[in-house]
Amino acid sequence: MSRSVVILGTQWGDEGKGKIVDLLARDVDAVVRYQGGHNAGHTLVINGEKTVLHVIPSGVLTERARCLVGNGVVVAPQALMKEVEGLEARGIEVRSRLGLSPACPAILPFHEAMDRAREAARGSRAIGTTGRGIGPAYEDKIVRHGLRLADLADPQRLKDKLESVVDYYNFLLVNYYKAEAVVLQAVADEAARLGEILKPMFTDVTGDLHDLRAAGGKILFEGAQGSLLDIDHGTYPFVTSSNTTVGGVLTGAGVGPRDIDYVLGITKAYTTRVGGGPFPTELDDADGRMMAERGVEFGATTGRPRRCGWLDAVAMKRMARVNGVTGLCITKLDVLDTFEQVKICTAYEGVDYFPVGAEEWQSVRPVYETLPGWKSQTKGLTDVGGLPSAARAYLDRLEELIGVPVHMLSTGPERDANVILQHPFSG
């Protein structure tokens, strides 16, 4: 029986991970975020009420699961507290269940200022970041002059570290990017205030997870973004600043490879992407517009419209291998219900090996296989027997091409709109 399950996206994000985390979290002891920041958004719909979470794990809407944020997550204290207070205003208890690693890098106002200034300077070559300081905060972590949440809760340590970092950022902002400087005292005062608020939520996330596993507890690891946005394995440089693939679980939560029993790859029945970067199967036609309309394809965090296209089985197979995916959960199958035909990209022309960066990706020409559509409703199904035969054939073909079985289907935004063929915690 699986006791530790990883949920991650196998495409460019927005696959519907949050809903599946919420669904499975009802049966676990802890839900853990291990990478990314508040640039990701997980949308949950429960009894018709929509909740968008950014850093707090999606298990917060269950009564049982403890919500842990590992050291691999970059945390914007002000944004986190806004999220906490928004949930508390709805009567949801958060602070007693939320555990933060004090080793999480802190996102501070100068990170956000730098992120926006860089994107503006890139002009037409902008990567499409959310402007929320994610990249600069990870950079500070790597060059070892960044502040962690623990620093914010220690007034003397905060003072010692902050001045030189603010001087560095202000020099670049003013002299290179011709942008406004940030005010040191204002940053310091707000950071200290938030540090005191966050300190009671600090915990040894890594130690807690190992203790919980030793006691036989069930753990769910929740990824943000998608595998094709991984800093190492994605469409570089049009990627995020962290490891969104399974390796991020190990470093971002402090667990070992043998502590993972099952990896669930969340996969949209077609493909979407937000922001810039290559997208071989993108559709700029009526089919793409229909996907966007039926799928309500707008970013949960930014509200930006998502680019849409047919499912890319070549990229999917690669990400399934990179992540060691055990089973797939196919989401938004119902978006394809009205199509006469559906297509799957089964090969790439124009490249001799899997693309390593944006330049190689731009040379890709997709080769499609066309299957008949099913022209009947799949939304809300909870029994695999109700699937139209053509929809079943589409899923069977995906299994063949990707080399991983479909274990779950999400058939709508509501928590219980699912077909479960094999439960991740029973495998």
Q: Give me the helix-helix angle, 109-122 and 184-198, nearest 10°.
A: 120
Q: State how far the Cα of 10 lies from the Cα of 59, in Å rounded to an integer.
A: 21
Q: State how far the Cα of 248 lies from the Cα of 242, in Å rounded to an integer.
A: 8
Q: Which residues are known catalytic residues? A: 14, 42
Torsion sign (Cα): 309, 58, 380, 27: positive
- What residues form DSSP beta bridges with 408? 329, 420
Amino acid at residue number 48? G
Q: State how far the Cα of 161 lies from the Cα of 146, in Å rounded to an integer.
A: 8
Residues 209/219, Cβ–Cβ less than 8 Å: yes
Q: State how far the Cα of 217 lies from the Cα of 208, in Å rounded to an integer.
A: 11
The CB-side HSE value for 366 (13 A sphere, CA atoms) comes to 20
Residues, the chain: 427
Residues 304/349, Cβ–Cβ less than 8 Å: no
Residues 246/34, Cβ–Cβ less than 8 Å: no
